[in-house]
Amino acid sequence: MTTPTPTSLGFRMPAEWARHRGTWLSWPHRESSWPGKFEPVPGVFVEIVRQLAAHEEVHINVTGPEMAMEVQARLANAGIAAVDLSRAGEPASRRAVYLHRNPTNDAWCRDHGPIFVQRETASGRREQAIVDWGYNAWGGKYPPFDADDVIPSRIGAKFGLRVFHPGIIMEGGSIDVNGRGTLLTTESCLLNPNRNPSHSREKIEQALKDNLGVSHVLWLGDGIEGDDTDGHVDDLTRFVGESTVVTAVEDDPRDSNYAPLRENLDRLRRMTDQNGRPLQVIPLPMPPAMHHDGQRLPASYANFYIANGVVLLPGYHPKTDEAARAILQRCFPDRLVTVIDSRDLVWGLGSFHCVTQQWPGL
């Protein structure tokens, strides 16, 4: 008997700008992810929580009681109260911060966290489920990753949600959806043999259609230099509307990112949404090249996060920060686009979208 897929049951992944119940984070603790520069990183997470908690719930995975106490103390110093759910009941309000005793290996919740899908029931009620893709730390680059791999199922069990297991490796940062049937991804990541070596492009595309409620998959090419994920789309191109995308563009022909980003721009200008409408493509500047200890960092303004009432934009350089902010503010007139310094966070090779995972509202 064929196992029903989320799509066959009417589930789909909402767009990131759809109303949230909250945001999931995994508190940073793996110092090797920010070698020699870990100390400021928890403070960046405090600022992320502060910005989000004014608009929606924030749910944070912590490894145990000691980390829970540390996180509560850090947040309290910033005037933020956090509830440790191992010592309290279910959330009582819809705008608070909650800690969950879910051990993790690392902080990149976009990639190991739950992908929520929704459907309308016959009675008109919305129902949620979780898609728990396999996770192998970007092709086995950073073991161990066993604790991260089970985070979606742990969250599903905690909240009584149905969990689907597609049986293939996939990270949240490798995909972006418009909530109406179209998905963006990259060949350099999803077709990399370090993820699903026995799967063809067609089989991977079918898995996306079967599990996320999409019918139209758009493939970009290569990612940016310094991105150890093999080219996640959330450093390149993002939906900001049902048929509108912003895409990172490098203006300096001498920069290593110039050619791949131009190729992606050319592809996007030939692409359509699920209804055959051409995409509206808005160029987004790149910040000046950033290096640390001789390594090029994947600094990109495309790694913003869309929440209720606010868009968190990574900041790298005042002039280009403001240019990127102004572009996104026009895309999201009903939200405040807020720049947060990400120069320390990006040494871990990711930024705000990489550490967040949206929980859609019902």
Give yes or no: 354 in active site. Answer: yes
d(CA 120, CA 106): 34
**Mutual angle of helices 65-77 and 41-53, in 10-degree steps:** 70
The active-site residue, picked from 109, 189, 331, 354, is 354
CB-count exposure of residue 132 (10 Å: 0-12, 13-18, 19+): buried
Residues sharing a CB contact under 8 Å with residue 158, sequence separation 6 or more, in sequence order: 100
Both tokens assigned to 138: 């970007």
Helix (H, G, I), strand (E, B) or coil at 168: coil
d(CA 113, CA 26): 8
Q: What is the largest CA-CA distance in the chain?
A: 58
Alpha-carbon dihedral sign for residues 226, 228, 229, 234? negative
d(CA 17, CA 358): 9
Q: End-to-end distance of the chain based on CA atoms, in angstroms?
A: 31
- Position of tokens 């490798």? 174
d(CA 188, CA 86): 41
Q: What are phi and psi of 337, to 5 degrees?
A: -85, 115
Indicate which residues carry an active-site annotation. 354
